[in-house]
Chain A
Amino acid sequence: MPEILLQYEDEIWRSIGQTFIMVGISILAAIIIGLPVGTWLFLSRKGKLMENPVVFSILNLLVNIIRSFPFLLLVVFLIPFTRLIIGTALGTAAATVPLSIIAIAHYARLVEQSLLDVPKGVIEAAVSMGASVREIIFKFLFVEARSGLVLGLTTSIISFISYSTIMGVVGGGGIGDFAIRYGYQQFKTDLMIYMIIIMVILVQFIQFAGTTISRIIDKR
């Protein structure tokens, strides 16, 4: 083990922990809110089961606006909102707010795209069997789109990791912030490179896991 890593062991572990908290909360937000929002986007489209131009336009616009913000500006823009719900705009907990917002928008779009790949005939067969919208979602759409949903989540998680690296601006910490403050700003280039290696390993692992799971559950 290189000496510099031992020297900063405590800080490194704390940074890794902060990254995991920020990314973990983002994943939860993506699944708990992004998945339903993406499903609703799909269903409210023209010609779909819950066609509604008003709902679709609003959701579509919101998702586009959030995703078109440069992320750093979104963080700043959301400071009053973050203060409102967390009580402070600084720290790891506060950092999860803008991350969750982008996570929801990011994953919702990928969910919508995965659902668009489900053959129309399968949904038609479900309707002809007297399935309700709820039953169609859970017994047909999600079953048929499951490998796409997993791959989409994998792509999203990797983006969340990337987004989380700039959360130092609001004191969110994390591996990226550590690499910038200790590695870059204090000219410890070796430390910065070690942090990058940790990120690369993390991303490789997540991509491998996501691809493997999606392949196993894909029976099409």
Chain B
Amino acid sequence: MIELRNVSKKFSHFDAIKSINMKIHKGEIYGIIGASGAGKSTLLRLINLLEIPDQGEVEVNGQVLTKMKSKELRKARKSIGMIFQAFNLVANKTVYENVLVSLELANYSRNKRRSRVEQCLEFVGLKELMKKYPAELSGGQKQRVAIARALATSPDVLLCDEPTSALDPNTTAEILSVLKEINEKLKVTIVMVSHEMDVIKSICNRVTVMANGEVYQTLSIQPKGIQNLQNSPEWFVEQLGKGGEFHA
């Protein structure tokens, strides 16, 4: 489904990615984990050529993206959805318009646009917030809009760049279940970058651990399911350890 062959990327004199090979199969939820600066985000962004590799080939769905002219590449990108840590919604467009724009870009037939937008927003559970602007939404709701936007054109692949890192534990769990549902119901291959172990463990089938721009190891894991992540005050106190109570 996705194949990187001897891909490398330099930023001025820093080797962000050092000749990486990677294969991701159809239908997988594939995790990429590592410390800050390990190159995990760069690796993800190489898949849809948001970063152009200095060397090597990138193949998605049988098409070699690195050999494409810009027009073909733009077409190919329409079947690769992407969501981001900062959501990256257009703040001056409503929820409806944010999803609509992705259909406009894909030349989706005009009279089906409205129903498609509604269908996608229904899927992420936000249909009633269609007329709101992003500033009026919570973080979790914004990420749902971003997911609806990425799914509108029925992509085969969804790239997720730290999708839950700006969210609290409960909202993280909600977003992860949406992603899992997308994978199961819509048969979308998911590649997810995260630095949070719990996030990776909960839904990924395979994980690449990255360090210093290289693949340290790739492992198959049994996804342990989305834990009922909590953020009640009792839970926080429990996690912190019951130290002596503080008296002022």
Asked whether B88 lies within 8 Å of A131 as measured between CB atoms, the reply is no
Asked whether A140 lies within 8 Å of B90 as measured between CB atoms, the reply is yes
Q: How many residues of A contact B (CB 8 A)?
A: 22
Asked whether A219 lies within 8 Å of B86 as measured between CB atoms, the reply is no
Asked whether B74 lies within 8 Å of A143 as measured between CB atoms, the reply is no
Asked whether A129 lies within 8 Å of B133 as measured between CB atoms, the reply is no
Per-residue CB contact flags for chain A residues 123-138 toward chain B (1 = under 8 Å, else 0) read 0110111111001000
Per-residue CB contact flags for chain B residues 21-50 toward chain A (1 = under 8 Å, else 0) read 000000000000000000000000000101
Q: How many residues of B contact A (CB 8 A)?
A: 32
A130-B74 contact, Cβ under 8 Å, with A125-B82, A125-B84, A135-B105: yes
- Cβ contact of B74, chosen from A121, A132, A144, A146, cutoff 8 A: A132
A129-B78 contact, Cβ under 8 Å, with A135-B105, A139-B104: yes
Chain B binding site: helix, strand, loop or mixed by DSSP?
mixed
Count A-B contacts at CB 8 Å.
72
- Cβ contact of B77, chosen from A128, A140, A147, A217, cutoff 8 A: A128
- Cβ contact of A128, chosen from B48, B75, B93, B134, cutoff 8 A: B48
CB contacts under 8 Å to B, within A137-174, are: 139-140, 143-144, 146-147
A97 to chain B, nearest CB (A): 36
- Cβ contact of A131, chosen from B74, B86, B87, B89, cutoff 8 A: B74
A124-B84 contact, Cβ under 8 Å, with A131-B105, A219-B133, A220-B92: yes
B154 to chain A, nearest CB (A): 13
Q: Which residues of B contact A135 (CB under 8 A)?
A: 105
CB contacts under 8 Å to A, within B51-108, are: 73-78, 80-82, 84, 86-93, 101-102, 104-106
17 residue pairs A–B, Cβ–Cβ below 8 Å: A124-B88, A125-B82, A125-B84, A125-B88, A128-B48, A128-B159, A129-B82, A129-B102, A130-B74, A130-B75, A130-B76, A135-B105, A143-B90, A143-B93, A144-B92, A147-B92, A217-B92
Instruction: Other than A121-B88, A122-B88, give 19 A-B pairs with Cβ distance below 8 A.
Output: A119-B86, A121-B86, A121-B87, A122-B90, A124-B84, A124-B88, A125-B89, A129-B82, A129-B102, A129-B106, A130-B74, A131-B105, A132-B74, A135-B105, A140-B101, A143-B90, A144-B91, A219-B91, A220-B92
Q: Which 8 A-B pairs have the closest CB atoms?
A: A130-B77, A121-B88, A125-B88, A220-B91, A128-B82, A130-B74, A219-B133, A130-B78
A interface residues, Cβ below 8 angstroms from B = 119, 121-122, 124-125, 127-132, 135, 139-140, 143-144, 146-147, 217-220
